[in-house]
Amino acid sequence: MFTGIISDLGEVLQVMEKSEGLRRLTIKCNYDPDTIDVGASIACSGACLTVVSRGRTRLRRFFAVDAAAETLRLTTAGSWRQGTRLNLERSLRLGDELGGHLVSGHVDGVAELIARDDFVDTAGLTLRVPDTLTRFIAPKGSVTLDGVSLTVNEVKGDTFSVLIIPHTLEVTTLGSLAVGARLNLEVDLMARYAARLLEAAPHR
């Protein structure tokens, strides 16, 4: 589990095809490799991926993850290349502060940035989402975009808007987004389970 509070900005160092439908990504980070266990989970721009190796050279620290066919197809990971910047978050430990909201790292779909309004210190983003996900997004509810926990401002049809504060613009990849960007979207866990319970309830 994660919280949607980004703890590091990573950069893809290498993309290697391991086999058909399996891609290994080596990612530069500021985490101490000695504190990363092989088999640990790290959310990479919202997608929970398993560490398969980690290490350091004189100039950089890094870890590697494998992205399988479904991850490459359903998230933006299929478009990551050398130099792609990623929002990173390590998995939640018991006793850690829950500063955002509960995030599973299981991406529900890809949202498209269709408008950006820059103000003095903040930015308003408007995104279009797949029709199948609109029912899970509500004003004042939570969403995760590229791993960042955000509060929904307004919902209109298949679009919704969020306001990004200065700190988030500075310490995540959201500050450099341009119209047309595609972002990993995870809807709120509570909304997903509430909808499932309603679907499973007997109709009277």
Query: What are the φ and ψ backbone dihedral angles of 133, each rounded to 5 degrees?
Result: -105, -10
> Residue 199 pLDDT > 70, yes or no?
no
Confidence band for 58, pLDDT divided at 50, 70 and 90: confident
Q: Which listed residue (44, 47, 48, 111) is catalytic?
A: 48
- Catalytically annotated residue among 3, 41, 76, 84: 41
pLDDT at 196 over 80: no
The CATH number fitting domain 109-198, selected from 1.10.287.130, 2.40.340.10, 2.40.30.20, 3.40.50.10440: 2.40.30.20
Query: Matching CATH topology for 8-90 and 109-198?
Result: yes
Mean pLDDT over each residue of the chain, to the nearest integer? 92
- Is 50 part of the annotated catalytic residue set? yes
Active site residue 44: no
Place 97 in a pLDDT band, splitting at 50, 70 and 90. Answer: low
User: What's the pTM?
Assistant: 0.92
106 among known catalytic residues: yes
Find the helix or strand (DSSP H, E) in which 72 lies. helix 69-74
The fold of 8-90 is Elongation Factor Tu (Ef-tu); domain 3 (2.40.30)
Catalytic residue among 68, 69, 115, 195: 68
Q: What is the mean pLDDT of residues 8-28?
A: 95
Query: Average pLDDT for residues 8-32, to the nearest whole number?
Result: 95
37/180 Cα distance (integer angstroms)? 36
